[in-house]
Structure 1
Amino acid sequence: MSLEKYDYISEIENVKSSWKLKVRVLSIWKMMYELQMIVMDEKCDKIGAVVKQALCPDFEKDLEVGAVFMISRFGVGDNKGKYPVYMHKLKLNFYRNTSLRRVCSFYGPKNAFQFMPFSQVWDKKDHPNLLIDLIGRIVDCGDLKPYEKEDGGEGKRLNIEIEDADNLKLKCTWWDEYAQQMHDFIDGNKNGGPVVLIIQFGKIKYWKASSSQGAGQLSSKVQSVHDDFLTMPKMTIGEVIDATKPAICVVLATITSVEERPGWNYISCRKCKKKVVKKSAFDLESIEESVGKNDEDDGKLYCSKCKGVASSVVPSYKVQVRVQDGSDTTSFVMFDREVTKLLRMSAVQLIEKQIEEGDEDTLPGVFKTLEEKRILFMINVSSYNIDTVYQVYTVTKISNDPSIMAEFDNNQPGDDDQDDDHGGDFEKAGNSNTGFLTLKDVTSYTGDSSNALEATSETAASPLKCPVDAVEDDGIGENSSTKKKMFVPVKIEK
């Protein structure tokens, strides 16, 4: 039996109409007067196609994202409209007699992503109709919030922040069904790892200093980790210890050891990462409307930031390390986001590993890998540190990017005595198994507030190193507000 012959998108011209294409449907969406889609052939070339409103009943029931079709008797027109379907000079027009036949074979990928580095997004402000693909790790996510639409109806929006392999960030706002879809996914994920987000066919729109993605209705702004660390005040450990005013500063230092006391994990609210406590330890006056004034313990755990019962809890890192540079030594405390970034495993995963190995009562050996690592620490020198001469400083962010550390070194005055032997110990972002180095937290957990101790693998088998009501109030909620963590890839398409 002879193979069926067909053409490729690269061969299409608008000088004739006797074309036959075998394509996979990548995306379908409805406009006011037509149905639009993007299709791809076996050579991974893409083109837009349009079905006019009057013909939608004839084709809409058969079209499906991911399905492969043999298409013939269609029109080919110039793609010169105000809102082109895809950045191709031509587009396909469906007619009443267009043949649409579903087939099984397709010698090409399911998707052919062309991921754009975040650094190039801003450069595309003069191409408002360009559709782009982005991939990034969700590092922050807010709550689902209502807003009033222009027609008087109520919509929903969700703020998120994603980070690419170069540590560049996009601050985004998702609207309506995309906001709900993202929120529901994050809400239903229980395994405590990071979420990798793929945005396909995002359309960029710019106003003022922001950009937005039309496909997901994202409003975005690029922010560089490079700028974060090289524009903040630089200090040595000696200068930090001698500080007389509160400050956020950057210190380049080497970890010499991980301190066993005061332990390495605590039980946190999954939603905001704040420590949870028993009712008797709670500030009842601030939440008397939601909790009540009775201070007797009721077996539930409470979150002061969320002002009520913690609907779900999860172990989180709190690791105190001893650090040094050429000027002095001191202690830094790192929380869940930073420690997970360095160890490349969540606290839940490490606890489960300890249980499997029957070694629950000792400091995990993986912490030894942190010793002799040279890192850029962004720390908070608080009023409490200064007033009480308390020399344990909270880390708010870290970077081990060799290029950033090298530039920091070159701009750092008086650091000639510092040890440079470990300047290249860490892989650059993007060399980890997931393609990203930074692991941060993601947000908006809502659940049954009456079930504070949800029975999951994360909570049932979580050996605490100290009672939950004895965990030090470390301000983790302030440093990672309304965030939680996931590990599952999610794809949002137009």
Structure 2
Amino acid sequence: MEQAAITLLNNIDLNVDDYTIRVRVVRLWTRPAFNNPRKIYCYDMIFMDQEGTKMQAFVLQRNATVYEHLLKENQCLTIRNPSMGENRQKVKYVHSTLKINLNENTVVEAYTEPVGSEWGFDFTPFDSILEDPDEDFKSFKSPIDVIGFVVKSILAEVKSDSNNSKEENNVTFILEDLQHHQIFVTLWDGYADQIRAFESNHPAEKNVVVVIQFGKYRFWGGHVNVSNLYTVTRVFINSDIPEIVDFKKSFVAQISASTSFGYSGLTSSVIKSPKKAVIILGTIKSFASESTWFYNACKSCTKKVFTTTICKEKEDGSEGFDEVTVLECQTHRCNQKTVTSVPRIKVPIRVQDCTGIVTLTLFEREVVKLLSVSANQLLENNIELAGEGKFPKEFNALLNRKFAFKIAIGSYNLKNKADGYSVSKLTENPEIMSELDHHFHAC
């Protein structure tokens, strides 16, 4: 019998119905039946072909009874006569806009030879995320695979909302790549438990490498933040797989060559800081006039930069030194190279409710969303006002507007009895506002 020609995922012709693909099941999960959560309704999968192209796929359980035993991760398959539809999911787990449907006419067989790489990693360089021109995008972008060294765990806690009996379980830490770019990673629920389990079982472990596969990211609070995508994401911690082993060897070689770098495991770097998310309902009455509305941020890590004067050998080779003013970042590793900066919006606002008034901080993402204007436009047209202690006239549109603000109260606020809380989310949705008004009516 003549073997059917194999069509690569990138070459699928929507006008052709009879074709054969050969793929590896990189990821697989199930959806329960609507009326019986113990019964499988369908299988969702991510396929990868020999070229590394990935595409989402699904099959109803009733159509998969013959080959259901083959539907498992890392299984290689030959599939004849699948159908191709639009991927209309709001959150996509791969970049393709198409989705494979294994229907009742599809034939699925095991394939014994390897197809593509074993794990299907497609790592995104940190610098391409940090330098994304669309840094103030409003929603998470996905998918993303990242690999990095754990340099610091800044938060490992269970946050409980007193108005909600359900606990929010998350862990946040910092990953660094081989070029010393850093990003924040926040993992939720089972993924957070996975980090804590590793920490508990390996208390003295150093040189921890983490892979986040099928994650999502966005620019928030002055930082790039990577998070898990529901239950689709995979997290690997110091796993014995080639990509992690090679990355660790390269990183250890770097830190061995320089005693100025010191890295430790999760346990010794964890800061368990009391922090609680609360919601307040109030009206923006004014801006904190003593503060400016933007800051100069390091392009590598987005932390605030300062100017400093250093002595530098004269460029003409003559004796003596010249005093040169340069930028200095709060992150030590950024100062190992030339620091460059970019202005970022950060607006201090005075918010009033029936109990008093408090200072909150709105960051760039929320400001541009509320004003329906780009960050570049605000900065280019108004940056000269900063020297005069004035705010852009566009900001006046925020005054006397009532919002529900979600803020985080940390140990610094409690210890020093200080306000200046950062706003993580806000809304003026009428239904939410009405419900909160009713809840706070007693005041």
Higher strand proportion, which one? 2
Relative to the length of structure 2, the TM-score reads 0.46
**Larger relative contact order (Cα-Cα within 8 Å, sequence gap ≥ 6):** 1
